[in-house]
Structure 1
Amino acid sequence: MKYLYLALAIVSEVIGSSFLNASNQFTKLVPILITVVAYLACFYFLSLALKYIPLGVAYAIWGGLGIVLTAIISVVVFKQKLDLPAIIGIVLIVAGVIVLNFFSKTNAH
């Protein structure tokens, strides 16, 4: 259940970030409302995940996967480009999340 809460937090954060971009600097009402609801859901589910997962681990996973998914959406939906340094940075973030989850003893709670 703890990783379901974390996954819901991540998905909500990605939705919020995507609609934040679509709000056109807070000038479009529907994307603004979706952004607010998504961020509220994000922090609610993150708070539930934090009952079971240490803050540092949860935040690393939440931030890392949020960055990766948001970058993918920026390319696919918003047609933005990622250069090689951006791609390398994203790969390093994913590597960090993997190391944290598989090799760190911090994950035990």
Structure 2
Amino acid sequence: MVYAALFTAIIIATIGDYFLKKSEGFRIKRFAFFTILLYIPTFYLLSIVMLEIPVGITYATWSGIGVLLTTLLGVFIFKEKMNLKIVSALTVIIVGVVLLNLF
């Protein structure tokens, strides 16, 4: 159940990241509003997760998978470039997240 809350927080944060990009530095107020609105339940869910999973593992998982999803969002939605360095770095992040959660 706790991992479901963690992955829900990751998905909500990734959607919030989409609106953050669309807000153009908080100049477009409706997108800025949605960003803030989505980050509130994200941090609430993280606080619940941290009751059972250590803070370092929670944050590493949230940020690592969030980086991966946000990068994919950038590539597929915003047409940002992906190169070998980015793929290599994302691979290292994901391996690290998996190892943290296994041990």
Q: Shorter-chain TM-score: what band?
A: over 0.9
Offset of residue 99 of structure 1: 1.1
Query: Across the two proteins, how many residue pairs are aligned to each other?
Result: 103
Q: TM-score, normalised by structure 2?
A: 0.95
The Cα offsets for residues 36-92 of structure 1, whole Å up to 9 and x where unpaired, read as: 011111101100111111111111110110000000000010010112111100010
Q: Distance in 1 between matches of 2:24 and 2:98?
A: 35
The Cα offsets for residues 20-49 of structure 1, whole Å up to 9 and x where unpaired, read as: 100011111221111001111110110011
Instruction: Report the counterpart of residue 63 of structure 1 in structure 2.
Output: 63
Offset of residue 2 of structure 1: 0.5
2:8 is matched by which residue type in structure 1?
L
2:21 is matched by which residue type in structure 1?
N
SS at match of 2:31: helix
SS at match of 2:53: coil
1:49 paired with 2:49, answer yes
1:92 is matched by which residue type in structure 2?
V
Q: TM-score, normalised by structure 1?
A: 0.90
Specify every segment of 5 or more residues in structure 1 that has no aligned partner in the other structure, as ranges: 105-109
Measured on the aligned residues, the alpha-carbon RMSD in Å equals: 0.9
User: In percent, how many aligned pairs have the same letter?
Assistant: 36
1:88 paired with 2:83, answer no
Specify every segment of 5 or more residues in structure 2 that has no aligned partner in the other structure, as ranges: none
SS at match of 1:46: helix
Instruction: Report the counterpart of residue 98 of structure 2 in structure 1.
Output: 98
Between stretches 69-78 and 11-20, larger displacement belongs to 11-20
2:51 is matched by which residue type in structure 1?
K
